[in-house]
Chains A and B, each alone.
Chain A
Amino acid sequence: MSSLIRLVQNEQMKIYGRVRTWMMLGLLVLAVLFMAVLMKYVLDTGIDHVVGFMSLTTSLSGLAFIFAVIVAGDSVASEFSWGTIKLLLIRPASRSKILWAKYIAVLLFIAALLLLLFIASYFAGLIFFGAGGALPEEMSFLSVVRAYGFQAVEIVMASTLAFMISAVFRSSSLAIGLSIFLMFTASTAIAILARFGYGWVKFILFANTDLTPYFLGGQPLVQGMTLGFSVTMLALYWIVFMFVSWLAFAKRDVAGS
């Protein structure tokens, strides 16, 4: 009965109503400014073009990654820890719909983070470095946008994982901690396993989240991996994550606290 759009509005209100969220957004902008000052006055990097600066600040998406995982991992779990879940689920809205609204709000937050990073980088770059200087061959506005695209894939997958852990264990610290830990350690572990010739590592999620080799050249992790394979794996993982989240959220009892 209740409309999905209004449920998403509610979730947005809960995300942006918290001081924490604004601190995240502020930190992201500060990080961009800090980097601009560092590049211009401290290090001798020779950057003299906005696009050059922007391709550097794509590395700050690591910050966006952590913030997105925190919000995703908190989304379901905080309702349980606050006890508000008891008032949320007794409305004329199915649990599936509420879960979707939460997930959509997480995706919108990821979009907001990346957009903010992009815009802040653009203006900081313009102010500090201008648009008149020389640009290396391989850097272009398009390549920056593409880099954001690759980052978005990783962030969305990690956030979906955190979202699922949050729904299953109803604990935000576990969801946030485990997702970030996995994302940062798994790539190293996978690289080592791949080095030793274990072909099955290509079926692991984190072996597929980095799509850059397929576009920018370079070796994929395991010989014979293709873009089609990785995208299929990502889609399968996404479906499993969402299905498990739904099972945990829509089918389980909300018993005494």
Chain B
Amino acid sequence: MEKIVELKGVTKRISGKTIVDGLTFAVRPGEVFGFLGPNGAGKTTTIRMMVGLISMTEGEIVIAGHSVKREFEQAMRQVGAIVENPEFYGFMTGYQNLLHYARMYPDIPGERIDEVVALVHLENRIHDKVKTYSLGMRQRLGVAQAILHRPSVLVLDEPTNGLDPEGIRELRDYLRHLAVAEGLAVIVSSHLLSEMELMCDRVAIIQNGRLLDVRSFKERPGEAELVDVCFEVDMPGEASERLQQLRQAAGELRDGGGGVLEIGEIRTEGSGSMIVALPNRREAIARVNALLVEGGLQVSGIRTLTKTLEDQFLEVTRGNRIV
């Protein structure tokens, strides 16, 4: 597997307290990688270690083959970042701010600045002082300074903080475009689960400085897996009973496609819905619906409950509260 960023046993201790504990994972080129955890989990500390703002107590971070510790300048050549909110020199224009950062790289031609300004749609305001910019414009200028030097890794710490829904959507589309079109690895941290779900290909969940799990989103549950399906019925209690009876009586139910209709957990919710764990097939849902209707129950709605990142997150972090 190709790796663009690699963390090897990264640990940070501050006066005896372990903030980040042996983090090991890798990020591939062209993927949007999320970094998820409750406040104080060590997300920002880890991101700051990646860009050299905070030193590591132990371990190593390698970016595009260069160690952040030993070959800082070569490693940083490959990284663009926004750490927390993008802060600029308010008394200078957007263009001067970009020029300031461009001068810190050995090889950025002047046209590149114009190019990124056009990319983030700031042409009309780039020669105004940054202190007159709205937060959304600052955020866009933040993206501009981060991609100015065509990095191979983009690191964004809480990029959606303070953005309106439209800005968030714009940023999300843009990050996706960068990852897909330019093969950039994008690392984003956030505590907004729904945002991460829409943005990321994979997510590392950390808590108390430890890596709990790395999850991939793009894989949908396979056919063999059971998914929760919610049936809105007039009498959920009776519906649940009927399904249970049928299951016991027949020993094995078959659906319309001829497959085994395996029925998992059945539970009722409120006065109008029943949730059944069913195989991830259309036929299975249709068959259960038929069984309910045959039993004289009125089905008014059916929907599949996909597991949200929030559910997965809570599943992983639950029981780990205090470590």
* Residue positions of A touching B, CB distance < 8 A: 1-3, 6-7, 9-10, 13-14, 17-19, 82-84, 86-87, 89-94, 253-257
Contacts and interface: CB of A to CB of B under 8 A. Distances in A.
Given A3-B106, A13-B100, A90 B81 contact: yes
18 contacts: A1-B77, A1-B106, A2-B104, A6-B103, A84-B89, A87-B82, A87-B83, A87-B101, A89-B52, A90-B76, A92-B73, A92-B76, A92-B77, A94-B73, A253-B53, A254-B48, A256-B84, A257-B84
Contacts of B81: 87, 90
A93 B102 CA distance: 12
B100 A10 contact: yes
A257 to B, nearest CB: 7
B79 interface: yes
Given A14-B89, A19-B91, A90-B52, A7 B103 contact: yes
Given A2-B106, A13-B99, A13-B100, 16 more contacts: A7-B103, A10-B103, A13-B96, A17-B89, A17-B96, A83-B87, A86-B84, A86-B87, A87-B82, A90-B81, A91-B105, A92-B77, A92-B104, A254-B48, A255-B45, A255-B48
B32 to A, nearest CB: 20
B74 A90 contact: no
A93 B104 contact: yes
A194 to B, nearest CB: 43
Nearest to B146: A87
A17 B53 contact: no
B92 A87 contact: no
Given A1-B105, A10-B103, A90 B88 contact: no
Nearest to B53: A254
B73 A93 contact: yes
B54 interface: yes
Nearest to B44: A256
Nearest to B86: A87
Nearest to A81: B87
A9 B103 contact: yes
